[in-house]
Chain A
Amino acid sequence: MEPESVSVVTSKPIYRSEISDAPCAYSLFICEQLSTAFSDLYQSKTVAKRDLVDDGDLESVKDQLVTLLADAPAATLVYLSGTEKYMWLVGEQLKALGVTEDQMVMLPPLNTERSVFCCHCYTVTDHVVTAPATCAGCGKLLAVTDHFAKSHAAYFGYQVNAENATEIPESVELS
Chain B
Amino acid sequence: MRVAPKEVETFRDDFTYSNSPEAIKRFPFPFPEDEYRYSVNMEPHTPKGGEGSAYEHFLDIDEHYLSEMTERKLVLDAMPHRCLAMDHMELACWDMLERLMTSLAEDYSDYFKLTIEGDQWTWENKLLNIHDTFTFGDSSTLPKPPLEYIGCQVQGDFALLDQRDGDLFLDAGMVTCPADWSLAFDAGMSFKEWHGPVPMAHNEGIFERALKYLTAMQVGSPIRRLNWTLTVNARMDTSPETYHEWGHERTSVTPDNVGEKVYLRVEVQVMDRMPRSNALMFIIRTYLISLEDIATNPEWAKRMHRTMKTLPAPLIEYKGLSRYHSMVVDYLSQFDPAN
B240 & A164 in contact (Cβ 8 Å cutoff): no
Inter-chain CA distance A117–B189, complex, in Å, is 15
* Closest chain A residue to B322, Cβ basis: A163
Which B177-207 residues sit within 8 Å CB-CB of chain A? 182, 184-189, 192-197, 199-200, 202-203
- Assuming the A-B contacts A6-B199, A7-B199, A120-B244, are A156 and B314 also in contact, with contact meaning beta carbons closer than 8 angstroms in the complex? no
Which one of B214-222, B245-253, B262-270, B295-303 contacts A?
Answer: B245-253
- Per-residue CB proximity of B275-293 to A under 8 Å, as 1/0? 0000000000000000000
Tell me, yes or no, whether B131 is within 8 Å of chain A by CB. Answer: no
**Given known A-B contacts A119-B240, A163-B248, A164-B251, A5 and B185 have beta carbons under 8 A apart:** no
Count, chain B residues at interface, CB 8 A = 30
CB distance from A66 to the nearest CB of B (A): 19
- CB-CB contacts below 8 Å: B234-257 with A: 240-244, 247-248, 250-251
Q: Would you call A122 and B243 a contact (CB within 8 A)?
A: no
Chain B residues engaging chain A, CB cutoff 8 angstroms:
81, 182, 184-189, 192-197, 199-200, 202-203, 240-244, 247-248, 250-251, 312, 314, 323
B188-A156 in contact (CB<8A): no
From 1 to 37 in chain A, residues with beta carbon under 8 angstroms from any chain B beta carbon are: 1, 5-12
Chain A minimum-CB-distance residue to B192: A10
- Pick the contact of B241 from A7, A119, A149, A164 — CB < 8 Å? A119
Instruction: Give the chain A neighbours of B192 by CB distance below 8 A.
Output: 10-11
Report yes or no: B314 in contact with A149, Cβ–Cβ below 8 A.
no
A145 at the interface (CB under 8 A from B): yes
Subset of 23 A-B contacts with CB under 8 Å: A1-B312, A9-B196, A9-B197, A10-B193, A10-B195, A10-B202, A11-B192, A11-B197, A119-B185, A119-B241, A120-B241, A122-B81, A122-B184, A140-B244, A147-B196, A148-B196, A149-B188, A150-B189, A151-B188, A158-B240, A162-B243, A162-B244, A163-B323
